[in-house]
A and B are shown apart, each in its own frame.
Chain A
Amino acid sequence: MEMQEVPYLEMNHVRKSFGSLEVLRDISLTVQQGEVVSIIGPSGSGKSTLLRCATLLETMDEGTLSYLGKSAAIMENGCTVYAKPAELDEIKRSFGLVFQSFHLFPHYSVLKNLIDAPIHVQKRPKEEAVAEAMALLEQMGLADKADAYPHQLSGGQQQRVAIARALALKPEVLFFDEPTSALDPELTGEVLKVIKELAEAHMTMIIVTHEMEFARKVSDRILFMDKGYVVVEGTPETVFRSQNGRIQEFLGKLQQP
């Protein structure tokens, strides 16, 4: 018998409401090691909320969540029960998140943004953290910016620092929530290039994006969300050729100037 691979991320039947507004209705998502999954869909369809539930920034009303087989949330008597704080802290080490608006720490230099959590959260030796951070900055093409402060960088550079900061903690899964939406078109390219390189290095990633060309090229799988449901899911080919009315409408709108 073949060993069943443990999914890196598994979410089942997730529901989430804000007051009377149902934002997520029965969403399931399983991501295997090395997979790149993109989530697309119109504004307000619940993409960010899904990422926020997956990264424990929001609590789900219903549904389960696990990383590498470790349960962060299970269902008990029809509602979600989260693991103990200590277990959640352990599970949190499995993932990182890159925000649309970076959220770098403005009072720390670029290097300190990268090494502060490895040193003070993961208790790694400083020399090791610095060496790894410098290697990451090199990889991001930002080796000369180690001593700069975030406000001295362009948006594209800041976002690359934010990616490096997330990678410095060596997550198994990396989430991106519209990583280029706050950037000019010229700066978008440099960030997408970095993400593409990560995909080639088989980083497991879940990316919410409005960059359709990018999603098509980089993803193993695409989810199209609308009104809290996953309407279409499959390979880029399947999704972009889908005859589903909602996705046609969505892709059509994007093509209009």
Chain B
Amino acid sequence: MTFHVILTELLNGMLLTVGIFALTLLFSMPLGFLVSFGRMSKQPVIRLITQFYISVMRGTPLMLQLMVVYFLPWYLFKIPLSSFWRFPAIILGFTINYAAYFAEIYRSGIEAIPKGQYEAAKLLGYSRSQTFLRIILPQVCKIILPAATNEIITLVKDTSLAYTLSCIEMFSVAKQIAAAETSMVPFAVAALFYYIFNLLVSFVMNRIEKQMSYY
């Protein structure tokens, strides 16, 4: 296998990696808000359930969670596992895991906003949703940006866990080629890919941070 072939195969795996990354962010970031609202709910039942959910997501390995999501339909309903279920299961597993982490990040940001901001908004006649969208959320975004960047960078690397469900993302490709060729080169190339991917993520997040540093 030439270096060129190794590269193209890895690039194919990379596409899947990027897909998992993008879809996970797309779903988990909004879902995280819902979870954080549940976590801060005045209803003790909702709060406790959300708290439990978050603690399970953070307290057990993501690899295990992916397997549970994948095998659950079969265990519960005896639905035969198909290869079509593999990718959605991966996205679902990643999403519910990352939503828990994002929820805690959002909560830390929301709780950092002084009570006076809510009171000022209330006095000026803003509705509850206007207060959240116009006054609170923009400030929360700025506060949580560093923590969110960390989480997003971790996600880039975590995508490799998709290999547990034999999803042929970049890391799995590297492993297969490395085994076939008895060479470490594919791993080195894969590492370089992850690194460059993360450099890009950092660059983008830095730009956003600069954009927000006007106050």
Contact = CB atoms under 8 A, between A and B. Distances in A.
Contact of B126 (A106, A121, A165): A121
A117 B119 contact: no
Interface stretch (A3-11, A92-100, A135-143, A240-248): A92-100
A95 B183 CA distance: 75
Contacts of A121: 124-127, 130
Contacts of A149: 214-215
A120 B116 CA distance: 20
B134 interface: yes
A97 to B, nearest CB: 5
A105 B118 CA distance: 10
A55 B127 CA distance: 16
Nearest to A107: B138
Interface size class of A (residues with CB under 8 A): 20 to 34
B123 A96 contact: yes
Most chain-A Cβ atoms within 10 A of its Cβ — which of B122, B124, B138, B214?
B124
Contacts of B127: 121
B120 interface: yes
Contacts, number: 53
Interface string B36-80: 000000000000000000000000000000000000000000000
B139 interface: yes
B117 interface: yes
Contacts of B117: 103, 105
Contact of B114 (A93, A103, A166): A103
8 contacts: A57-B119, A97-B123, A99-B116, A103-B117, A104-B120, A105-B117, A116-B134, A149-B214
B125 A117 contact: yes
A169 interface: yes
Given A103-B116, A107-B142, A117 B215 contact: no
A89 interface: yes
A145 to B, nearest CB: 14
A122 B142 contact: no
